Structure 1
């Protein structure tokens, strides 16, 4: 029985973590956000919001693309005024990617959309189930195999 639950969770996580699943969700969330914010740039914006100023190389693993992919996406975001590049105080040759106020506003809107999307998908759940799920998911991510 324990092994069955482990397999069931692993299968569900596999679906959630698939790149195509994430890209489809990002496309839905970014609709109407402007030309620079789409399913390709969303991971860079989101990762930068979570981590704070980072170089493209340091941000790449969190964004799920390589350094050159981050750089290309960052150029689009910079042209739209959502991020800026600043000199890295620890390495004069490097630059950090930094969210602008406009970038923070875009991330706030994207997070609002994501939360609303999640709540819509949970609307048919019985009262209290979503709260229980959130509590258990938080515990699983804190204590589970990802730590």
Structure 2
């Protein structure tokens, strides 16, 4: 793996542009920067994370499960008091909200672990290796 280290953001961006212009595929380039460099992400065409779909699916599941649980419980063991309806939506919204947050957060955690292929970590980058420098790693042809 080739390593290019720079102290200057402009030199880093120039080398990255040069590598991409020379035909190196963006999927073979990894960058490490001390601060977010949005220009580099645009040059590498980094796609948006699909994590939002895990979160949405978990939250929707929690919302439906919250209402299903409370409605099923009320219909199975009705507590008829003062002629009030057996199924009343406003109090059930609390349970639905809580399960929405719970399952949304758990799905986000599971999605995060899945998308990052954790817990197997082939190469851990120590922050002391790069310091406050801009680094470009280019994978070699095999």
TM > 0.5: no
TM-score (norm 1): 0.30
Asked which structure has the greater RCO (Cα within 8 Å, sep 6+), the reply is 2
Choose 1 or 2 for highest CA Rg.
2
TM-score (norm 2): 0.30
